[in-house]
A and B are shown apart, each in its own frame.
Chain A
Amino acid sequence: MEMNFESLKKEILSQLPIKNTDSSIPGFYAMDDATALGKNRVDAASALVFKNILFYLGLIFRYPTEQIYSEIETRLDTFTDFFVDYGGAAPQLPPIEELQSEYIRLFVNNQGFVPAMPYASCYQSEGLLMSDQFYRLRQIMVKSGFMVNETVKELEDHIAILLEFCAGLLNQLASGQASSGKSSGACVAALMEVSYLYIEPMMDAFCDRIHAYAYDDFYKIAGKTLKSLMQDADTIYDQLLGFRIHSINELQG
Chain B
Amino acid sequence: MEKKRYAIVLDTKKCLNCKACTVACKFENYVPVGDDTYRIWVTELPLQGKFPHLHQDFQPSQCQHCENTPCEKVCPTKATFKTPEGVVLVDYEKCILCKACMTACPYDARFVSEHHEAVEKCTFCMHRVSEGREPACVETCPVRVREFGDLNDPNSRVSRLLSSRPYMQLKPEKNTRPRLFYVL
B-chain residues with CB within 8 Å of residue A125 when the two chains form the complex: 32, 114-115
Given the complex of chains A and B, what is the CA–CA distance between A126 and B31 in angstroms? 10
Contacts of A19 in B (CB 8 A): 117
What residues of A have a CB within 8 angstroms of the CB of B32 in the complex?
125-126
A112-155 at interface with B (beta carbon < 8 Å):
125-126, 132
- Smallest CB-CB separation from B30: which chain A residue? A132
Q: Which residues of A contact B114 (CB under 8 A)?
A: 125
Nearest CB in chain B: distance from A123 CB, A: 13
Please give me the residue from chain A that is nearest to B115 by CB atom: A125
The distance in angstroms between the C-alpha atoms of A202 and B33, with both chains bound, is 19
In this complex, how many residues of chain B approach chain A with their Cβ under 8 Å: the count is 6
B22-50 contact mask (Cβ, 8 Å, vs A): 1 or 0? 00000000101100000000000000000
* In the complex, residue of chain A having the shortest beta-carbon distance to the beta carbon of B117: A19
Q: Which residues of A contact B33 (CB under 8 A)?
A: 126
Chain B interface SS verdict (over half): loop
A19 to B116, alpha carbons, bound, how many Å?
Answer: 11
Chain A residues bordering chain B, tally (CB within 8 A): 4
| Residues of A229-246 contacting chain B, CB below 8 A | none
By beta carbon, the residue of chain B nearest A127 is B33
> Once bound together, how far apart are the Cα atoms of A126 and B114, in whole Å?
11
Residue of B nearest to A132 (CB): B30
Which residues of chain B from 111 to 143 have a CB within 8 Å of any chain A CB? Answer: 114-115, 117
Residues from chain A with a CB closer than 8 A to the CB of B117 are: 19
Give Cα A132–Cα B29 distance, bound, in whole angstroms: 13
- For A126, the closest partner residue in chain B by CB is B33
Docked pose: A132 CA to B114 CA in angstroms:
13
Q: What residue in chain B is nearest A125 (Cβ atoms)?
A: B32
Residues of A within 8 A of B115 (CB): 125
How far is A132 from B32 in the complex, measured between Cα atoms in Å?
12
What is the CB-to-nearest-CB distance from A95 to chain B, in angstroms, rounded to a whole number?
41
- State in angstroms the CA–CA spacing of A19 and B92 once bound together: 12
A208 to B30, CA, bound (A): 28
Could you tell me the distance in whole angstroms from the C-beta of A128 to the nearest C-beta in chain B?
A: 9
Contact with B along A64-107 (1 / 0, CB 8 A): 00000000000000000000000000000000000000000000
Hey, what's the 0/1 contact readout for B97-117 against A, CB within 8 Å counting as 1?
000000000000000001101
How close is B98's CB to chain A, nearest CB, in angstroms? 16
Chain A residues lying within 8 Å of B30, measured Cβ to Cβ, are: 132
**Distance to closest chain A CB from B132 (angstroms):** 25
Q: Within the complex, what minimum Cβ distance (angstroms) separates A126 from chain B?
A: 5
CA distance A133 to B114 in the complex (A): 14
B residues 65-119 in Cβ contact with A at 8 Å = 114-115, 117
- A132–B33 Cα gap in the complex (Å)? 15
Measured in the bound complex, the distance between the Cα atoms of B115 and A125 in whole Å is 8
Question: Which B residue's beta carbon lies closest to that of A128?
Answer: B33
- Rounded to whole angstroms, the CA-CA distance of A132 and B30 in the bound complex is 10
Least distance between B169 CB and chain A CB atoms (Å): 34
How far, in Å, is A192 (CB) from chain B's closest CB?
21
Question: When chains A and B are docked, how far (Å) is the Cα of A126 from the Cα of B33?
Answer: 6
Least CB distance, A24 to chain B, in whole angstroms: 14
